Amino acid sequence: MTTDVLPEIGSIEPNRHGYRTFTLGRFTFERDEYFAHVSWPKGRHLLPADAFLRALQRDIAWGFFYGIVNFDAVIGTVNHYGTVDLYAGRFNDHYRRAGLDDIQNFDTPLIQRVFEAILEDWTNATFDPFASPAETGSAFGPKNGSNKRAITRHRVTAKRMIGCPGDEPRRSDESGFPVNRHFTDVTQDEPDVRPEPGFEGEVVAYNLFAYLSRSDVTWNPSVVSVCQASLYCPTTEEYVLPVIHGNDRVEWFVQLSDEIHWEVEDRDTGTLRARVVMKAGDVAAMPADIRHRGFSPKRSMLLVWENASSELPALYASGTMPPTPVQF
Ligand code: PHB
Ligand code: FE
């Protein structure tokens, strides 16, 4: 077998399962029929291929998101907004105590390029990493084609709001977004907007529930409205959030429909802090020092409300701001 490795881009020859091997700094990524294997000088780890690809897809699509994206309890990334840390065991008390953890910093474009190459090579034609398990085929087996269309979906990021002139459009059957099987009871009427003459292009309203009922992806917050640093990022959820998100700021959750169970842990050690069951209408502020993973027994609608101010991580990290917006 050829062992040639292009720096940072991966092996030229696929392995016996048909998948290429990738290196990024001290980390190596390999896949077989069932698992992604990650190794670093002091350790090795494996994750189910479907879970790994779901996490990788989101890390890439979200530009490494706010704070920490744990793929599982061992592997993940920390966003420093310009550079990104790739780590193993850094936020796992047991790996830290045993001295088996590792962390390495990369310029964002480099890690982005390598992660995109892994996602493209390891995603088979049958698998859509953004879809719910009930709405996609298998991620497993030897290499079997590719699914570029699924992994390069347009990410919805409104400049002002869905439906504004020149902004992100509403969704419809015609534009390829049918109502999801779990949301057939969601009414599809649109608000009746009657602006004063002269304000026709400026007064806009849309049916957010109808918009979300037509989402073709899960666990993928999209920016539907922007007011300075205040971003409304609703999403439709089904099965398990593919990452364990470590916050670097407070996030507000508004459960718009159905039910999600959250597992909330200490961000740095993984110690369990709370289990939160959110039902339609419930509102929660997730603290700035936790990590969390959601479980949605059927497709549900969740509004994630983010504050995108770039000063926030330093204010929380220095203790200038308490990690919760309200002290009881
Ligand atoms: C979160 O980590 O806050 C998060 C991420 C993706 C979602 C929902 C919540 O779909
Ligand atoms: Fe979060």
- Indicate which residue's Cα is closest to atom 8 of ligand 1: 219
219 CA distance to ligand 1 middle (Å)? 6
| pLDDT of the residue at 239 | 98
Q: Which letter does DSSP use for residue 180 in this model?
A: P
Ligand 1 pocket member 296 (CB < 6 A) = no
| pLDDT of the residue at 7 | 53
CA 235 to ligand 1: nearest atom: 10
Ligand 1 pocket member 218 (CB < 6 A) = no
| pLDDT of the residue at 2 | 39
> 200: which residues sit within 8 A by CB, 6+ positions away?
none
| pLDDT of the residue at 1 | 40
Q: Are 260 and 278 in contact (CB under 8 A)?
A: yes
Beta carbons within 10 angstroms of residue 188's beta carbon? 14
Beta carbons within 10 angstroms of residue 73's beta carbon? 17
Integer Cα distance of 263 and 271 in angstroms: 11
- Indicate which residue's Cα is closest to atom 6 of ligand 1: 219
Residue 188 has phi, psi (to 5 degrees) of -110, 10
Ligand 1 pocket member 235 (CB < 6 A) = yes
Ligand 1 pocket member 118 (CB < 6 A) = no
Ligand 1 pocket member 219 (CB < 6 A) = yes
Give the residue, out of 219, 252, 254, 289, with the most ligand 1 atoms within 8 A of its beta carbon, to mutate for a pocket test: 219
Global pTM reads 0.96
Ligand 1 pocket member 156 (CB < 6 A) = no
Which ranges of the chain have pLDDT less than 70?
A: 1-8
Integer Cα distance of 253 and 92 in angstroms: 26
Integer Cα distance of 42 and 87 in angstroms: 12
| pLDDT of the residue at 10 | 75
